[in-house]
Chain A
Amino acid sequence: MTRPATENVYIERQDYPFCPGCGHGLILNALGSALAKLNLPPKDVAIVTDIGCVGLSDAQLKVHSFHGLHGRSVAYASGLKLAQADLHVIVLMGDGGTGIGAGHILAAARRNMDISVLVFNNFNFGMTGGEHSATTFNTAMTTTTPTGNPEMPFDIAATVTANGASFVARKPSTDRDLFDVVAQAIATPGFSLVDIWELCTAYFVPANQFTGRMFREYAERSGMQMDILTDKRRATLGAYMQQLIETAPPRAQSIPLPISFRHSLKTRRGLITAGSAGGKVKSAVGLLARAAIMSGLAVNQKDDYPVTIKSGHSVSTLILDPQPILYNGVAQPDAVLLLTAAGLQRIGAQLASWPQDVQVYAETSLTLPPTKARVKRFDSRNLSRELGKENIALAVVASVLLEQAYFPLKALKTVIVKRMKVEYREQALAAVESVAEQSIFEQ
């Protein structure tokens, strides 16, 4: 295979700053030839270089260059490609970068990010002084493994092959057709990686009496396949994103809440509704909040639930205020809706400190700690039977609204009609109407 000779379109200078005999220059030459073979306009090519000796490459090239943090080159490349789909994005990283940035490489392979990664793999850290890297062979000598490397080498090519990459190869830097394999990688629509084995003449070569003739022998000994490991096609993340854009609805507009009702409040009210996860506490209080806004009140709803959101308590604190709300803490509520034992457990400790002017509405089976607060009872089993389990919280909220008369019940019904999903709407309305006809509170 003849190498195109027009590499100076892409390469600024061939006075590479690397040690004599270092493999990096061979790879950059192959990259220049690959770009020439593909005849890509330099303005459409972006090189992303990682840290290490390879990071000096950007100054040698005549294409766009992005030199970022150690190990993150694949993440930058992904961002460039997603944001500017016309770019051919090529990562130049060392084996050190594949160790610290392994997660990004895996993710890019799984996403089939349309970028190409060239690994300048010389089995140790050059720039910092010959320390072992993720790809150092077992038993190899480095400055941090003076008695031989106890770790197994990271088979980067096999790993990305197993994780969705489109084109993967492993090549010695000395192979004459390296440029052709690099060109194939760049031309692949999807994630491509070439694990290029090369010599670090400053450290790995002298420490291990290593030569270029030993690449294939080492590969065999480590059970690593050379040449092309995979070459297949599937959709890229960029194509998926493009499709999302093409099929997206127009940007959602907010639906305002017109003031259509009158409230009766002169001062702020605080309501705490305490129930269990899955009990629709948040949504019932949210409906009340919207109804309050439609009645001209300022509103604030704070929800409290454990990180495991399907278990334990669900507590919503609602402030209703005829004035704008600044500070939104509720030291002492005006009304407390206790729906379940989990809710009681969450806020029960405060009950003892609440005075008589706090009105508690508690489920009939709950055993309350001693309190001066006034207590009314309701039976949630009845509500569940008559209105459905998912409407208990709403029924209690509506009942408290009726009792407290902050604003008309009609405001709540209007919100249900306007804002609830059609499949829940009828039942919810029926629940509110039912509690309006007959109080849920025990006499």
Chain B
Amino acid sequence: MSETGLSTLEFLDGNDAIMRAALDAGCTFFAGYPITPATSLLLAAIRDMPSVGGIAVQTEDEIAGISMCIAASMTGRKTMTATSGPGLSLYSENIGLAIMAEVPLIIVDSQRMGPATGGATTQGEGDIQFARWGSSGGYPLIVLAPRDLKSSYELTLHAFNLAERYRTPVLLLTSKELSLTRQSADTSRWQRPELINRKQFAGSLEEFLPYRVDDGEEVPAFLPFGAEAQVRFTTSIHGDEGIITNDIVKRRRKLEHLANKISWDKPGVSLYAADLYSEADTLIISYGLAAQASVDAARQLRGYGFRVSSLVLYTLWPVPEGIISEVLGEHKNIVVPEHNNGQYLRELERLSFEQNRFVAVQSFDGSLISPAEIIQAVSEEPPLLLGAAND
């Protein structure tokens, strides 16, 4: 197929693409604990970080891994850690801390079959709801899900940008299949969004308050540990000073800020690829690895003359409600392939209209959903009804 002689073809896996993007984003700190299928990110960090003046540490456990990254981020560095489901469970409390204390941080979760230790080398994408609701309090964070090498690279860059811009942890949900499968790729076609760095405090030092959000700003301006002004950081509910407070007004202001700063309609947050077919009544909504089979199936179906639309979600949390509502309104049958027990289906059902009928295609035994299964689901008459309560 490729008639060009341009030598931009490479052979690499999803974790290679993520680490390349992390370095391109200016990440200079990585701490993590070995776990399949995320280990190759730790190994790559140990290999590459010194070359960019960065630090990579294999920590004593996952808790130390994310703890070190949080602290390093507060010195002004861009930081990343990587794990799988069991480690994400251990990250939980610190993810809450990173939300509370507004820490830019990238967490890669290379998913595998769960629950618990599950299948270390078996495919799974079952951390979808856990990624969003896995820390106490229920405050939002951003979760992105790549589906191939290109999106692994690009979403990692977006993840750093979003983390910096909104001072928040961003989870990148990849999975065993994508992390460890080596593929050919034309890396010259990977898009590199302009890098965003967190907003630095520029006022006079005596006036610095670590958690004050100035009018018209999205987040508090940042000064690193070691700055001339005193920097305070706390896991406890706090006011602008960064000190624990019982003041109900300060508490409410902080929590409303946390609840509101991450939302689907904020700039750069809702990432997706919509391939909509006019007058189609069938739409496949997919994300992660199932998106590969979905796009494949949509192409084949169109080849057979069917009108089928496809929406691939790259941002899973916050739920990109704008585009989802729009496409649900324009289609009737919604096919939702997932490598889990229907964890995103419930979010779509929440936004559904009366005409929507949902068809779930699910696999959680480690096997990949094939385009053939999706095609079969689309052409089933009547379609398998799953929980389309409005109908």
Contact = CB atoms under 8 A, between A and B. Distances in A.
A241 interface: yes
Given A72-B63, A327-B296, A259 B2 contact: yes
B246 to A, nearest CB: 12
Contacts of B120: 307
A86 B225 CA distance: 10
Contacts of A324: 1
B293 A67 contact: no
Contact of A259 (B5, B54, B76): B5
Contact of A46 (B68, B180, B226): B226
Interface in B41-58: 47-48, 50-55, 57
Interface string A304-346: 1101000000000000001111111101000000000000000
B271 interface: no
Contacts of B29: 79, 82-83
A254 interface: yes
A200 B257 CA distance: 38
A80 B72 contact: yes
A68 B67 contact: yes
Nearest to A265: B1
Interface string A107-146: 1000000000000000000000000000000000000000
A428 to B, nearest CB: 18
Contact of A257 (B10, B55, B60, B234): B10
A298 B181 CA distance: 13
B9 A84 contact: no
Contacts of B299: 326
B64 A326 contact: no
Given A64-B231, A84-B224, A297-B184, A307 B36 contact: yes
B184 A65 contact: no
Interface string B229-254: 11111111000001110000000000
A76 B71 contact: yes
B11 A293 contact: yes
A245 B79 CA distance: 17
Contact of B68 (A67, A76, A307): A76
A84 B7 contact: no
Contacts of B184: 257, 289, 292-293, 297-300
A296 B10 CA distance: 12
A79 B10 contact: no
Contacts of B228: 43
Contact of B1 (A58, A241, A322): A322
A325 B9 contact: no
Contacts of A69: 67, 93-94, 97, 235
Contact of B292 (A78, A323, A328): A328
Given A257-B9, A297-B184, A323-B1, A86 B226 contact: yes
B343 interface: no
A58 B227 contact: no
Given A298-B1, A299-B183, A67 B233 contact: yes
A84 B51 contact: no
B368 A327 contact: yes
Contacts of A107: 59-60, 64
B32 to A, nearest CB: 12
B145 to A, nearest CB: 16
B235 A67 contact: yes
A304 B70 CA distance: 35
Nearest to A106: B60
A290 interface: yes
B55 A241 contact: yes
A66 B230 contact: no
Q: In this complex, which of B23, B70, B76, B79 has the most chain A Cβ atoms within 10 angstroms of its Cβ?
A: B70
Nearest to A295: B2
B285 interface: no
B68 A78 contact: yes
Contacts of A48: 71
B171 to A, nearest CB: 19
A245 B183 contact: no
B332 interface: no
Nearest to A237: B57
Contacts of B94: 69, 72
A83 B234 CA distance: 19
A175 interface: no
Interface in B82-115: 93-94, 97
Contacts of A410: none
Contact of A84 (B8, B61, B225): B225
B263 interface: no
Contacts of A257: 7, 9-11, 184
A12 to B, nearest CB: 9
A422 interface: no
Contacts of B182: 286, 289, 299-302
B288 interface: no
Contacts of A212: none
Contacts of A4: none
Contacts of A103: 60-61, 64
A293 B77 CA distance: 37
B9 A256 contact: yes
A42 B229 CA distance: 9
A79 B1 contact: no
A244 B79 CA distance: 18
A104 interface: yes
A421 interface: no
B7 to A, nearest CB: 4
B221 interface: no
Contacts of A307: 36, 120-121
Contacts of B232: 58, 64-65, 67
Nearest to A251: B51
B75 interface: yes
B124 interface: no
A295 to B, nearest CB: 10
B60 A104 contact: yes
With a 10 A CB-CB cut-off, give which of B67, B72, B97, B229 has the most chain A CB atoms. Answer: B67
A269 interface: no
Contacts of B295: 326
Interface in A249-272: 249-252, 254, 256-260
B187 interface: yes
A296 B97 CA distance: 49
B270 to A, nearest CB: 23
A300 B181 CA distance: 7
Given A83-B29, A259-B4, A304-B121, A252 B9 contact: no
Nearest to A77: B71
Contact of B74 (A66, A72, A256, A294): A66
A91 to B, nearest CB: 11
20 contacts: A43-B226, A43-B228, A46-B226, A59-B243, A67-B236, A75-B68, A77-B71, A79-B72, A83-B29, A83-B71, A86-B226, A87-B75, A254-B20, A254-B187, A298-B184, A299-B184, A300-B184, A302-B181, A326-B371, A328-B368
Q: A-B pairs with the 3 shortest C-beta distances?
A: A79-B71, A79-B68, A75-B67
Given A75-B71, A241-B50, A293-B9, 9 more contacts: A65-B230, A67-B233, A68-B71, A68-B235, A82-B29, A103-B60, A258-B7, A290-B11, A302-B180
